[in-house]
Structure 1
């Protein structure tokens, strides 16, 4: 590229900065409570003077880090972002990275298929041809003249770009221009995930969270290489997804007063759901929808009394009791309803998983429960999806081709262990380690405590591959951190309960077991705190962490 052509590119990019900044703040738009109104005890600590990170100061911990103190890269006003020629997906990752880096630096950072000679560049390139990397791994190399991220697939480029953001000084997360030197420590990183599935879950049923709040959460979790967001879309209190063939589900049970304590209304239209799916996909997060059944169905039965065995609508429920509702297992109306819901949900969900719940069905006799699962689990496959449910589904032989989410607090579960021998894969979410709605300690103003108090060290201090007897590494698809919404009302509440514990679960899912070390993790987490402060994330300043 000639010098004059490069100048025109830089000038055009600089002119676009105000528009880009306006488009890059979904979290701010989603926040229900202004930062100034959040109780001071719930805010993160003030930002400390920004220090340059080391190559190993990354969450989650990379597989291999090789520092080179003499190869520091300096990001400057002439830096360009180069992406793989002919790859729209690589170009999209480059565009996103530029949008992330422009507000604090004020630099144009044009995104180009090729870079001019002697111009410092950040390159996002495919064709790593390294089987170790799989579909999400990457190699990152930093020299004095260039940063290069190579991957087999665009998902790896996105993961590498999130690492690069952490290798820049903390001030890179400032929403306004900071005049300083922007450096990246020299050396190389080899990185790829331990488990394919690293998830977070958000409960939409007990309290409806808006599309903007969901998008903000997607932005926040994707920074830690979390690649699935499980949306709990129905429960006893409310129904939160449009189903055309059963319209009263949202008309009646998505309306006013349908959340815990009468909170509400709210539900996702199909258009809103598809928009969230597309937004998440651009950040390499797959949406996993859940319709809980055969229990947790009171809201559906309020809307359609024919889903009960006696044909009588139960009263709406806004309390937090569980285990009292059940679909009528012997009724063909039940299976027409179930198939319609699965069909419509599968049609608008490009991801591979459809979660059918299955927990706490105390009002369903066990023989009926197994009969229900034997009929419904294969039905999910008929519509092109992998069935996914809470660990109770392993009572049914049909779970051999399904994914079971282990939420139990026990370290032994013979039913799940037996299902593993038949082929069932497991996502680990033990409630006393991974549930983000559990209080940190007795004084926590939000959350519950039925499973445990979970401080950061508790969330980090377990190994998914050794947690449950008979469920070893090869049986584990991954980990997930559920966040139930009985006590949550705003994005600030979501953030306060999720952070800083979610990065602990993310590291268990991504990083090799050999890197599992509390001293290292707590130091890296503490150094990350000022970034949350700059982002306006309402995190809990755990006393277990020395915040930077």
Structure 2
């Protein structure tokens, strides 16, 4: 399966090399415009005449809290250009200036490009980082090269004023069904942050495995992270606390917030194998490596259940600087309804006790304790009375409709890997919906944002992640960032097709959707 995908990448890339060699130079392509960006910018005003040309004499200027972002920009542009691009406090003319100043929305920025220089302004470093991702896309795809390329490096002239539609723009990666090494997670962070995704939700526990060290319950990873765990029995591994803290730091450098999830009261078979006292009869269940759901449940009447839940929440909260802690709550088919409500009444306040905002799948909306929580809607319905009731009590909603945003769904019936229980999701299906209108009984003011989950039953490595996530994750990113007025399939497919060469140079084995005219 993975060899097939790699072969697709190589075969597609070969004609580019052949064409270049036979023509004696790179093929002619249209000049990049200010609007040729993923996700679409809010406002763009092109200027007549020349833009800004990067040369060996170009410098990047920044000071204070803008310095780390300026350094990232320089590190991104140096390999392909071969230019030194020093980061200095004051560079005068021929500079790319990164400036922090009041007056811009959170994560918003203003980018002014003229022949004499470039000015990127924002109120927060996160806005500068978003602007840097836009600036990189305004340069030719060869900028992604790891060695110097002989060509002119010109940014189109004009002004971009940009801001996010929603505060929360997320991706989820499941480590429980198959463990993904920290290097794979860092690689995913690198890619998703290019499209202004600002949250990575890590699904850390499930029936098939437990993937985060909890000191007060060490057998969770000793047993639940051992070799032979995961779907198919070949997904062993777990994150140490140092691993997790390093991922949090790495993500924060790219303005991505890690959201950890421990799923309960269902999806707990791996925990019960490690600690049989978490079952009502004290007998350990057999380990599970299949894909079934809904058969496990914590013992809601037992005090040990709440000691366990509190210890896990406390230790996760201590090493998670972000505001959210996800407690799952989905598919608890083996937990009676009354017991489910009892469990949520006791556990949701524990998240608040340790300084975090409770976050859970939309089933938690059944509980009055979900008032003020974040509810992740994953259904395929157009209404949800329980979510509407929770919203009326102060809850916010993150939208992850399974038939639109689940990246583990197949593109079509011939897709290698992936599942199809929520239907086939090609790029246009992922793109053609409006978060403001998904749930008719939930107002847009209650929508915190969108998230694209990637479950790992059929995943094994970064090749699988690339193939299922890209290009569909970009569709969800545009729904979360770009204004509703910018939503246009023809424009999106053209911009997405033009991005293909960047992924090729980055080694991303994306799905070559037949809906897109790839450059």
Give, in whole Å, the separation in 2 of the partners of 1:261 and 1:343. Answer: 31
The SS at the match of 1:125 is strand
Give, in whole Å, the separation in 2 of the partners of 1:383 and 1:125. Answer: 36
Q: Does 1:160 align with 2:131?
A: yes
2:53 match = 74
1:40 match = 7
Give, in whole Å, the separation in 2 of the partners of 1:39 and 1:369. Answer: 45
2:81 match = 105
Counterparts of 1:101-250 in structure 2, within 5 Å, are: 101-115=77-91, 117-118=92-93, 120-127=94-101, 129-130=102-103, 133-250=104-221
CA drift at 1:459: 0.2
**Which string of whole-angstrom CA distances, capped at 9 and with x for unpartnered residues, describes residues 14-73 of structure 1?**
xxxxxxxxxxxxxxxxxxx7xx88542366832583733111100011110000131410
2:222 match = 251
**Which string of whole-angstrom CA distances, capped at 9 and with x for unpartnered residues, describes residues 369-422 of structure 1?**
011111111110000000000000000011111000000011111111121111
2:22 match = none
**Which string of whole-angstrom CA distances, capped at 9 and with x for unpartnered residues, describes residues 218-268 of structure 1?**
000000000000000000000000000000000011000101001121000
Contact residue 50 and residue 171 of structure 1 kept, 8 A: no
2:381 match = 410
Give, in whole Å, the separation in 1 of the partners of 2:218 and 2:230. Answer: 19
**Which string of whole-angstrom CA distances, capped at 9 and with x for unpartnered residues, describes residues 172-212 of structure 1?**
01112101000000000000000000000000000000000
Which structure 1 segments of 5+ residues have no match? 1-32
Q: Does 1:362 align with 2:333?
A: yes
CA gap of 1:547–1:44, structure 2 versus 1, over 3 A, is farther
Contact residue 44 and residue 529 of structure 1 kept, 8 A: no
Give, in whole Å, the separation in 2 of the partners of 1:69 and 1:387. Answer: 50
Give, in whole Å, the separation in 2 of the partners of 1:428 and 1:37. Answer: 33
Give, in whole Å, the separation in 2 of the partners of 1:146 and 1:446. Answer: 48
- TM, length-normalised to structure 1: 0.91
1:353 match = 324
CA drift at 1:476: 0.3
Contact residue 42 and residue 496 of structure 1 kept, 8 A: no
The SS at the match of 1:45 is helix
Give, in whole Å, the separation in 2 of the partners of 1:479 and 1:446. Answer: 24
1:58 match = 37
Which structure 2 segments of 5+ residues have no match? 17-25
Give, in whole Å, the separation in 1 of the partners of 2:76 and 2:459. Answer: 29
Q: Could you tell which deviates more after superposition, 523-532 or 48-57?
A: 48-57
Contact residue 61 and residue 95 of structure 2 kept, 8 A: yes
Counterparts of 1:377-526 in structure 2, within 5 Å, are: 377-526=348-497
Give, in whole Å, the separation in 2 of the partners of 1:389 and 1:134. Answer: 28
Contact residue 52 and residue 154 of structure 2 kept, 8 A: yes
Give, in whole Å, the separation in 2 of the partners of 1:424 and 1:516. Answer: 27
CA drift at 1:446: 1.1
Contact residue 417 and residue 469 of structure 1 kept, 8 A: no
Q: Does 1:93 align with 2:73?
A: no
Give, in whole Å, the separation in 2 of the partners of 1:71 and 1:92. Answer: 29
Give, in whole Å, the separation in 1 of the partners of 2:10 and 2:425. Answer: 19
CA drift at 1:312: 0.2
Give, in whole Å, the separation in 2 of the partners of 1:38 and 1:163. Answer: 29
The SS at the match of 1:436 is coil
The SS at the match of 2:375 is strand
Contact residue 170 and residue 199 of structure 2 kept, 8 A: yes
Give, in whole Å, the separation in 1 of the partners of 2:364 and 2:501. Answer: 42
Aligned residues: 507
Contact residue 6 and residue 509 of structure 2 kept, 8 A: no
CA drift at 1:135: 1.7
Give, in whole Å, the separation in 2 of the partners of 1:334 and 1:50. Answer: 65
Contact residue 177 and residue 235 of structure 2 kept, 8 A: no
The SS at the match of 1:481 is strand
Of 496, 505, 517, 1:534 maps to 505
- TM, length-normalised to structure 2: 0.96
The SS at the match of 2:437 is coil
CA drift at 1:349: 0.2
Give, in whole Å, the separation in 2 of the partners of 1:154 and 1:41. Answer: 38
Contact residue 400 and residue 451 of structure 2 kept, 8 A: yes
Contact residue 66 and residue 125 of structure 2 kept, 8 A: yes
Where relative contact order (Cα < 8 A, 6+ residues apart) is larger, the structure is 1
Give, in whole Å, the separation in 1 of the partners of 2:55 and 2:474. Answer: 30
Give, in whole Å, the separation in 2 of the partners of 1:375 and 1:122. Answer: 53
Give, in whole Å, the separation in 2 of the partners of 1:44 and 1:398. Answer: 54
CA drift at 1:106: 0.5
Give, in whole Å, the separation in 1 of the partners of 2:161 and 2:442. Answer: 28
